[in-house]
Amino acid sequence: MMPATLISVCQVEPAVREQMLKDLDAQIVAAGGPFAEAWAKNPKLSAHKRLLTLTRTRLLLAEAHARAPKECPAYLPVDPAFAGVQTDFRRVSLNLETGGVLQLRRMNGKWTYGGGGVLRALLSYGTGRFTFAVGPEFSGGPMLRPGTTDFVINYFPAVPVMLRIWDHTWHYDFEIAPVALFQADDFRLSFGMRVGGAVGVMARRSRGVLPWAGLQMGFETYPGGARPPMQFFRGGLRVGLVWN
């Protein structure tokens, strides 16, 4: 664990590391520690999950803090403004997202349904609690023609503008997007607008990459033009990677 730990620890001022060790000591006492004493009273791991996590965190930080003077490389100097490795705070990031989509369409008073997939790549900038993102999206899939067993393949290019609100490892997305629709057998474009949202949670983090998974839903309306007015409800599973 030490190489990954030092990437963060080396960039934090020694006084901040020492204060963090004191804070962890206080949290360990508040959680019923030290661990050896808590274990002697109740030798069940399930009863000390938080205490065990805090104890291991404290041990790792203490070891990294002791090694830092000799093992921190010159290319990782102390940075008073360091905000962490696994964050998009004050960074431009690339958000790659994909997933399956269920589609419901209403046109000429009739409903039909279909499926498909989505792929998009958004550039984002984080401010801490909020992330702002914009970029291209392309989705598509087959949809039944009302009253028949035939289907048509719809394609949906879009440019979403998204606000992401962070709540620790959870996040909540709100977006608007100009969208267009064309079909495999009819390349005329119908233009519309989308409003949508998503809820997601980060998985176990890897160095430099923040993976997440969640659910997304959106409503799209096309006022007319190349085709009659229509509305879509579209949603499904979404997975993504935030890379900076």
pLDDT tens digits along 43-54: 999 999 999 999
92-243: CATH number:
2.40.160.20
Q: What is the pLDDT of residues 80-104, one digit of tens each?
A: 988 888 788 888 999 999 999 999 9
| Under 8 Å between Cβ of 206 and 193 | no
What pLDDT, in 10s, does the model give residues 55-71?
Answer: 999 999 999 999 999 99
Distance, in Å, from the CA atom of 21 to the CA atom of 144, rounded to the nearest integer, reads 61
The total of other beta-carbon atoms located within 10 Å of residue 150's CB is 9
Of 149, 160, 120, 143, the C-alpha closest to 227 is: 143
- pTM for the structure as a whole: 0.80
pLDDT tens digits, one per residue of 101-159: 999 999 999 999 999 999 999 999 999 899 999 999 999 999 999 888 899 999 999 99
Give the separation between CA 123 and CA 101, rounded to whole angstroms: 22
Range(s) of the chain covered by CATH 2.40.160.20: 92-243
Residue 165 pLDDT class (50, 70, 90 cuts): very high
**Among candidate residues 240, 14, 18, the one with its CA nearest the CA of residue 137:** 240
17 sits in which H/E element: helix 14-30
